[in-house]
Amino acid sequence: MTDAVAAALAATPVIGIIRLPDASGAVEAAEALWRGGVHAVEVTLTTEGAADAIRALRDREQGPGVVGAGSVRTAADARHAIAAGARFLVTPTFQPAVLDTARAEGVPVMCGGLTPTELDSAAQAGADYLKLFPASSVGPGYVRELLAPMPDLKIIPTGGVRADHVAAWASAGACAVAAGSALVSAHLVAAGDWAELTARAERFARAWPR
């Protein structure tokens, strides 16, 4: 599973976050992102029916496309998401119980944190990636400063990330970025505008410097 996630991020270092009132349209939204070149997609557990959407997407994974679960906060959340087929888990904060549960199943975790201590503690505890959240509160310079003494950290800025921010985060040393509403907005999903979601994904994918 870890290899599949690494391959998806190597192809395009962007994670699409699907956070909606309910999961109707979540499958189509993820497929639209995959078509646009954003291969790693997370469905947040705050989305009603998230497990069903993850299960359906696991059956429909395309090429390097993978599906994970976001907003994972407890060991029970982790078990629920893994049972649904999530290939990776994303936490908003540093939660050792989630890391322990995922490690036992061989599922990678993108562990949330903001301060140097939180991020390094998560890395030392076995997090595969570090979700810098909320990234909009600090900016790319913060990543550059963090990596000076801790160059091994695999940081993924999340929160307020837009396509025109991607190059700056990449230049600062982020290994990927994650985007929610700038990629998948509820009104586009409600309208079934999958073409616009694909176009947004293409803009994000192109924005990462090669």
HSE at residue 28, side-chain half, CA atoms within 13 A, is 16
d(CA 186, CA 205): 21
Is 131 one of the catalytic residues? yes
* Distance in angstroms (rounded) separating the CA atoms of residues 111 and 118: 9
Nearest-10 Cα torsion for 100, 135, 51, 199: -140
Catalytic residue among 28, 31, 42, 118: 42
Annotation says 154 is catalytic: no
On whether the CB atoms of residues 98 and 78 are closer than 8 A, the answer is yes
CA separation for the pair 156, 163 (Å, rounded): 14
| Set 31, 48, 118, 131: catalytic member | 131
Catalytic residues: 42, 131
